[in-house]
Structure 1
Amino acid sequence: MKEEIKLLKSKIIDDLQSIKRIYDKLNREKGKIENTPNEAQSINIGYYLHNLYNAFENIFLNVADVFENQVKEKSRWHYSLQKRMTLNIEDIRPKVISKEASNYLDELRRFRHIFRHSYDYEIDWERLKIVLKKADKLQGIYEKEIRDFIGFLDKLSEQDNAG
């Protein structure tokens, strides 16, 4: 189990670095907008928001793979997985993110779905601003929460070393 925990920690840290890079690119792109973005800027922002959610979901999938070993629900599994990450599972693991972070991620998840599956979709700037606002709020809290979870992994790994 020790090796699996260390691998999970490494994967999470790698995804956290990706999330930081995505936020950096997203913030640079937002900084270029004077009033209303042109089509290319809207597409770029949409792409970064899409990737941002994917990086968070990758963390959640890796956690579920180690601790819960499955993602059973076929319909709405993205939603179900995300919500499970807000749960403290007794004798298994603590929550990965808060309900507040999950609420912000809900907006990104919904946007990602539309962005990914709509082939002839024009991005609405007013709607995009709402998603960006949630992403900004998430940026202020996600790292501490996930680092707290990494602290749990460290303790678990230490217990394995002692045992």
Structure 2
Amino acid sequence: MTAFKHPASAKLSPKIDRAAKKLQKIEEYLSAHGSEMSLGEWGAVAAVSLGVHNVYNGIEDILLSLSNDIDGLVPQGPTMYQDVLDQMSAEIAGIRPAVLDPELYQSLSELKGFRHLVRHRYGFDLKTDKVQENLDRVKEAFPYFIEAIVCLESSLTEENAHDSDGGDGSGGGASGGP
């Protein structure tokens, strides 16, 4: 479990662990059913699709927690899922650095689109190559996402340390982030 020091990050450890376990479950499933997936059998394709869907949901849950606990603003409405990605890709001066770099933002946007397809098409129209592409994408993006969260937490704890080291508490200093 990832240990965090900043209060806004503390509740993220179990969420990160759940998402990591979901990714591990996909790998376990594929070691037993990889041939069915390769052959495009509907059950295997649907199972892997749902697994990717669930890992992305975990990532999104973490981003929504950060938007609430750090930014103080959780996107609402019909565009909230894209809005949270946009919000987390932007620096908020005096509050936090950008969480998502352009490459990670793009990967998560693609996964969000795939999640939408899985959720609203109920597994019909799923193409094996697209499922595999998104599985590869989530396997590559997830470690970078965790790294981004750890960097954010580091930045937030550095800022808190600077504020408690004799500063006036106004938070008017330069950000310790990238």
Instruction: State whether TM-score is above 0.5.
Output: yes
Offset of 1:116 from its aligned partner? 1.3
TM-fit CA distance, 1:120: 6.7
Q: Is the aligned partner of 1:33 residue 2:34?
A: yes
Higher relative contact order (CA 8 A, sep 6+): 1
Find the aligned partners of 2:140 and 2:122 in 1 and give their Cα distance. Answer: 29
Note the C-alpha offset of 1:131.
Answer: 1.2
Any residues of structure 2 matched to 1:149-160 within 5 Å, and which? 149-159=152-162
User: What is residue 90 of structure 1 aligned with on the other side?
Assistant: 93
Moved over 6 A (4+): none
Rg larger in structure: 2
* Alpha-carbon distance, 1:16 to partner: 1.5
Q: 1:43 to 1:155 in 2, by over 3 A?
A: same
Instruction: Give the gaps of 5 or more residues in structure 2.
Output: 170-178
Shift of the 143–68 alpha-carbon distance from structure 1 to 2, 3 Å rule, reads: closer
Question: Which residue pairs with 1:15 in the alignment?
Answer: 15
Confirm or deny: 8 A CA contact 1:11 1:59 kept in the other structure. no
Secondary structure of 2:90's match?
A: coil
Structure 1: runs of 5+ lacking an equivalent: none
Q: Which whole-Å CA distance do the structure 1 matches of 2:54 and 2:123 have between them?
A: 19
What is the root-mean-square deviation in Å for CA atoms of aligned residues? 2.2
TM-score, structure 2 length as denominator?
0.77
User: Cα–Cα, structure 1 residues 140 and 51, in superposed 2: closer, same or farther, change >3 Å?
Assistant: same
Distance 1:127 1:120 in 2: 12
Moved more, 35-44 or 18-27: 35-44
Output the TM-score relative to the length of structure 1: 0.83
Q: How many pairs are equivalent?
A: 159
